[in-house]
Amino acid sequence: MQYLTVAAALLSTSLLSSAAPTSTPLERRACSVAYPRSIGFPINYEIKQDANRANSVSPFIAFDNIPAGSYGCQLEVNFPAGYPIQSSGNSRVNVFDADNKLFGTVNFVSSPVAPTKFVVNSAVCKPSMQYRMVIASDTDAGRVAFADTKDAGLTITYNC
């Protein structure tokens, strides 16, 4: 009798384990990366204003190399550890899209010990995606400046 009980238990265990789906580890897909339009690198960005938006400098950034049919466009900011960024005052930056709608807000900073990555926002991909960067405060003076290179700064990732 014990033999039948043990045999039944083993048989049911093997049936359950063969019916359960096997899981394979998910592998990260490689994303495509678009860089800002420029004549060359580095692109030196300076976003600044005096108090009450006086003397405002609000640069545009354009990505004109996104292939038709791309999906999942995401504006990102990436800096390696210790990347030099100059800032003073209220340096928080609003990013507006081509329709002048607020797309996201970011602080351009880098960590002294680890790479830094920020996702500003994502949108439907278009062959040309353009943004304007503005100091976020309506009243405070602020400034942020950095060099955008192939290894640091703003990119759009897509097809992830």
pTM comes to 0.79
What CATH number should be reported for the domain whose range is 30-158? 2.60.120
- 128-153 pLDDT tens trace: 999 999 999 999 999 999 999 989 99
**Does residue 63 surpass a pLDDT of 50?**
yes
User: Can you give the residue ranges of every domain in the chain?
Assistant: 30-158
How far apart CA 56 and CA 93 sit, in angstroms, is 12
Name the band, by pLDDT with cuts 50, 70 and 90, for residue 38.
confident
Tell me, what DSSP letter sits at residue 78?
A: E
Burial 135-158 (b: 16+ CB within 10 A, else e): bbbeebbbbbbbebeeebbbbbbb
pLDDT in tens, 65-116: 899 999 999 999 999 999 999 999 999 999 999 999 999 999 999 999 999 9
Cα separation, 73 vs 59, in Å, equals 21
How much is the pLDDT for 100? 96
What's the pLDDT at 6?
45
The reply to whether omega before 21 is within 30° of 0 (cis) is: no
